[in-house]
């Protein structure tokens, strides 16, 4: 009988993960696995995963990993391990195992689909496309051709997506109808954006619109060609940036001909502050958010913060379906941890952001970095601070491309016919435009 007792991986990279587990550091072990799992022997990877899963209390993954460590060349064990990894949110561990399983059973639609699912969850859409196109002769329209269209879009390959979409029949099972409708809207948005947007692998505004229907108000002026491509990593936000975002929102509404009659305030403090400022900038009355409210701009500072507020989850659920004339605007949207609903308008994309009224990092008199105390002034005072700020654009590093408001309004005017269609489904991928992300 196979036993993991006294067995240790031989690979230096995997030994680092093993040593993390010796110290009880499960996240550290998983980070080590992420960096080296693609080229390591799967039997040894499974040893580490089994130990990590046992420590985390993931019995299903522990059992699957233990079985794979004992029989690393068997298709069923490879599949079971990959499936359990996906279920436990470590899809990067699943990909090598499912690739090997598919090599052994190349005709298995079940293995192919699990491999595609793992690639999707890791944002490796080009790999998913390659898996699917290699087996196009034998797959079904639903879900396989649908998945090929989706992953081609997410990989930035519009010609392939359009060719495959033209071959896609209507689904027999009504469960696929919402997915079909979302995919059609993606292609419609691409068609409307294409005349004014390059839709290449650096066109963040264009692809953000195609994949989620969001009009991105500003691009980061830092590190565009150094890996960020318009997104922020860590951001200390400012009142100036908040005002700039609201003025971009105003320009967007004017360019698309949307005429809201009010601003709706969400339940968290940051959104109330920004919403009160938005009401002043837009010249509209402010009111508490009401489910199904029409002809209103719903303003959020960060939708993930809304989710953490009292009544926040219920509120976001009510925003999934778009009410007539309702615009959802989010100032600071986390692109590495997308909110459960996707806003129609976003000022900026970040990995981590600190609101200007929260404690800010600065260098103290002693040279050490310290965090200032939060600004506890009333929300109306903070809103007035935004309205009175300086909206002049940050010059940034001067190597990033300019992003004048005229470029935004030209884009908004071009896409006005396809904007605000359908639901606000959560983004499951950051799409074709890559940006550096940090642990």
226 and 256 inside one domain: yes
Q: What is the mean pLDDT of residues 106-119?
A: 97
HSE-CB at 337 with a 13 A cutoff on CA atoms is 12
Query: Could you give the angle at the alpha carbon of 151 between the alpha carbons of 150 and 154, nearest 5°?
Result: 90
State residue 8's pLDDT score. Answer: 84
> Is the domain of 281 the same as that of 392?
yes
Res 35: pLDDT: 79
Q: Are residues 384 and 236 in the same domain?
A: yes
Based on the domain organization, do 113 and 227 belong to the same domain?
Answer: no
pLDDT at position 7 over 90: no
3-state helix vs strand vs coil in the chain, percent to 5: 50, 10, 40
**Would you say residue 84 lies in a domain?**
yes
What residues are paired with 333 via a beta bridge? 349
Q: Residue 329: inside a domain, yes or no?
A: yes
In the chain, count H helices and then E strands: 18, 10
Residue 79 pLDDT > 60: yes
Q: Does residue 337 sit in the same domain as residue 386?
A: yes
Same domain, 114 and 231: no
Residue 55 lies in a domain: yes
The residue among 134, 154, 185 that closes a domain is 185
Token pair belonging to 169: 């029949």
pTM: 0.94
- Domain for residue 128, yes or no? yes
pLDDT over 70 at 366, yes or no: no
Average pLDDT over residues 378-390: 98
Mean pLDDT, rounded, of the chain: 94
Residue 422 included in any domain: no
Among candidate residues 133, 151, 185, the one where a domain is terminated: 185
Is residue 7 a part of any domain in this protein? no
| Planar angle of CA 342, 257, 426, nearest 5 degrees | 5
pLDDT at 47 over 60: yes
How far is residue 391 CA from its own chain's centroid? 27
Q: Is the pLDDT of residue 80 over 60?
A: yes
Residues sharing a CB contact under 8 Å with residue 420, sequence separation 6 or more, in sequence order: 213, 258, 322, 327, 344
pLDDT of residue 364 exceeding 80, the answer is no
The reply to whether 318 and 274 lie within a common domain is yes
> pLDDT tens digits for 282-314?
999 999 999 999 999 999 999 999 999 999 999
Q: What is the pLDDT of residue 439?
A: 63
274 by Cβ neighbours in 10 Å (0-12 / 13-18 / 19+) ranks as buried
Q: Are 230 and 162 found together in one domain? A: no
The pLDDT tens digits for 137-169 are: 989 999 999 999 999 999 999 999 999 999 999
CATH number of the domain residue 304 falls in: 3.40.50
Give strand pairing partners of 363: 369
Residue 399 has pLDDT above 90, yes or no: no
Domain span including residue 236: 203-415
In 3D space, the residue among 88, 95, 102, 91 whose CA is nearest the CA of residue 54 turns out to be 88
Q: In CATH, what number is assigned to the domain containing residue 34?
A: 1.25.40.10
Query: Where does a domain end: 185, 215, 233?
Result: 185
By the 8 A CB rule, do 248 and 347 touch? yes
pLDDT at position 367 is: 64
Is the domain of 87 the same as that of 178?
yes
Q: 289 and 160, same structural domain?
A: no
Rounded to a whole number of angstroms, the distance between the first and last alpha carbons of the chain is 39
Number of domains in the chain: 2
Residues 225 and 349 both lie in one domain: yes
Domain assignment present for 163: yes
Q: Do 179 and 138 fall within a single domain?
A: yes
Residue 132 lies in a domain: yes
Q: Is the pLDDT of residue 2 over 50?
A: no
pLDDT at 3: 46
């Amino acid at each position: 009988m196979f036993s993991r007792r006294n067995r240790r991986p031989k690979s230096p990279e995997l030994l680092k993960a093993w040593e993390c587990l010796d110290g009880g550091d499960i996240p550290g072990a998983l980070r080590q696995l992420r960096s080296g799992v693609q080229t390591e022997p799967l039997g040894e990877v499974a040893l580490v995963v089994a130990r990590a899963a046992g420590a985390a209390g993931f019995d299903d993954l522990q059992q699957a990993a233990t079985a794979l460590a004992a029989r690393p060349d068997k298709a069923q064990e490879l599949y079971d391990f990959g499936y359990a990894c996906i279920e436990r949110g470590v899809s990067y561990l699943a990909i090598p195992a499912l690739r090997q399983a598919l090599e052994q059973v190349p005709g298995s639609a079940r293995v192919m689909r699990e491999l595609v699912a793992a690639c999707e969850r890791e944002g490796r859409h080009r790999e998913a496309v390659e898996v699917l196109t290699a087996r196009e002769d034998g797959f079904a329209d639903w879900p396989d051709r649908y998945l090929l269209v989706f992953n081609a879009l997410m990989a930035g390959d519009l010609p392939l997506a359009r060719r495959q979409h033209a071959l896609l029949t209507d689904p027999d099972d009504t469960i696929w109808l919402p997915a079909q409708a979302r995919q059609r809207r993606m292609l419609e948005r691409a068609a409307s954006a294409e005349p004014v947007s390059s839709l290449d692998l650096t066109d963040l505004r264009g692809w953000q619109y195609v994949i989620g229907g969001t009009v991105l108000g500003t691009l980061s002026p830092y590190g565009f060609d150094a890996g960020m491509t318009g997104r922020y990593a860590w951001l200390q936000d400012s009142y100036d940036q908040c005002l700039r975002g609201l003025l971009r929102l105003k320009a967007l509404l004017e360019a698309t001909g949307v005429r809201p009659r009010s601003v709706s305030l969400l339940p968290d403090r940051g959104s109330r502050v920004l919403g009160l400022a938005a009401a002043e900038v837009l010249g509209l009355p402010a009111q508490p958010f009401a489910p199904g409210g029409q002809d209103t701009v719903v303003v959020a500072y960060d939708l993930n913060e809304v989710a953490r507020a009292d009544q926040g989850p219920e509120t976001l659920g009510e925003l999934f379906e778009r009410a007539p004339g309702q615009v959802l605007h989010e100032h600071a949207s986390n692109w590495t941890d997308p909110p459960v609903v996707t806003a129609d308008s976003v000022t900026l994309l970040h990995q981590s952001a600190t609101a200007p009224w929260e404690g800010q990092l600065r260098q103290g008199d002693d040279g050490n970095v310290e965090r200032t105390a939060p600004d506890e002034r009333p929300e109306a005072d903070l809103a007035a601070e935004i309205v009175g700020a300086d909206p002049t654009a940050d010059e940034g590093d001067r190597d990033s491309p300019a992003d004048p408001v005229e470029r935004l309004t030209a884009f908004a005017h071009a896409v006005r016919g396809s904007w605000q269609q359908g639901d606000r489904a959560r983004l499951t991928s950051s799409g074709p435009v890559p940006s550096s992300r940090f642990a």
